[in-house]
Amino acid sequence: MREAFQELVHHLHARLREDRVRGGRLSYLVAAGDSGAGREAALPPETASRKTPRDRTAPVRAGEETLEAIRQALGDCQRCPLGAKRRRLVFGEGNPHAELVFIGEAPGADEDLQGRPFVGRAGQLLTKIIEAMGLKRDNVYICNILKCRPPGNRNPAPDEVAACEPFLIRQLEAIRPRIICALGSVAARALLKTEAPITVLRGRFQSYQGLRLMPTYHPAYLLRNPAAKKQVWEDVRIIMKAMDLKLPEHKNGLPGGGAPGHGAGGI
């Protein structure tokens, strides 16, 4: 009995320390009422996490790697051939303690020029999606699997993903988000190591490195296919629910109640 009590006190202390580091959110209280169990997808074998789930109750260790240290470790990276072709390396930006991280496949032309992720038209749409969630861009963290632009915006090659992904994993370990949103088929499939189509993957949580990952359509796809905004809004609402964010109160739960261009959270 005494041992169990001590274990409970230790657990609550660990959660409190973690919440302080992450901005004061009392997750140990939330966790008591919402474990998230039941909303997790039953994962097909090919999308199961390659690691055992990370213990989110573990206290942040002093000296744990920072995003700045990871950027320094990348340096003038030439670990894959894309390093020789880039103008600027796009590391990622946003809240270093974000609860939500958006991950795309690779920088495009605008990002390569500016050295920032998601700054072109697709990036502007991503910003609208974030704002439709009641958040701001600097509340979340945005990055890509690859930090350098593939020529002609072609899909990342497997050896390029293999060279760059370890830095993404280190970024996630530093940020410790609650949820990841993989933007687009290429990013989702590269992270989950699956050939399953995005139509099958999206709409339910998958697992990546012990974190909950929601695949959804890429904003660039939405620019070409605005009708898919409705599905993205469905995915976003699942994320919002899991993060205990306030859902908008509209007819049918959707702004505009299904009017043209709506039913998609106003995005």
**Among residue numbers 157 through 186, which ones bind ligand SF4 (CB under 6 A)?**
160, 163-164
Q: Classify the phi-psi angles of 153: left when phi > 0, otherwise alpha if psi is within -120 to 50, otherwise beta.
A: left
58 contacts 97 by C-beta, under 8 angstroms? no
Quote the tokens at residue 27.
């997750």
Give the residue, chosen from 30, 77, 223, 243, that forms a contact with ligand SF4 under the rule CB under 6 A. 77
Q: Check residue 145 for interaction with ligand SF4 (CB under 6 A).
A: no
For residue 82, CA distances in Å to 89, 91, 147, 151 come to: 10, 14, 9, 8
Tell me whether residue 16 or residue 74 sits nearer to ligand SF4 (CB atom): 74
Tell me whether residue 129 or residue 163 sits nearer to ligand SF4 (CB atom): 163
Per-residue binder mask for ligand SF4 (CB under 6 A), 79-98, x = binder = xx-xx-----x---------
Q: Cβ of residue 89: shortest distance to ligand SF4, in angstroms?
A: 6
Q: Check residue 78 for interaction with ligand SF4 (CB under 6 A).
A: yes
Give the residue, chosen from 14, 74, 113, 157, that forms a contact with ligand SF4 under the rule CB under 6 A. 74
Q: Classify the phi-psi angles of 194: left when phi > 0, otherwise alpha if psi is within -120 to 50, otherwise beta.
A: beta
Tell me whether residue 147 or residue 218 sits nearer to ligand SF4 (CB atom): 147
265 contacts 248 by C-beta, under 8 angstroms? yes
Q: Check residue 112 for interaction with ligand SF4 (CB under 6 A).
A: no
Per-residue binder mask for ligand SF4 (CB under 6 A), 227-256, x = binder = ------------------------------
Strand order in 179-183's β-sheet? Answer: 93-94, 141-144, 100-104, 179-183, 211-216, 206-208
Q: Which phi and psi (to 5°) does residue 207 adopt?
A: -125, 130
Q: Cβ of residue 73: shortest distance to ligand SF4, in angstroms?
A: 11
Reference 236, options 248, 226, 252, 250; nearest CA is 248
**Among residue numbers 192 through 211, which ones bind ligand SF4 (CB under 6 A)?**
none
Tell me whether residue 135 or residue 148 sits nearer to ligand SF4 (CB atom): 148
Tell me whether residue 8 or residue 73 sits nearer to ligand SF4 (CB atom): 73
Give the residue, chosen from 146, 188, 211, 214, that forms a contact with ligand SF4 under the rule CB under 6 A. 146
Tell me whether residue 182 or residue 236 sits nearer to ligand SF4 (CB atom): 182
> Letter for the amino acid at 190?
A
Which letter does DSSP use for residue 54 in this model? P
Q: How far apart are CA 95 and CA 223, in angstroms?
A: 26
Which residues are near ligand SF4 by CB under 6 A?
Answer: 74, 77-80, 82-83, 89, 146-148, 160, 163-164
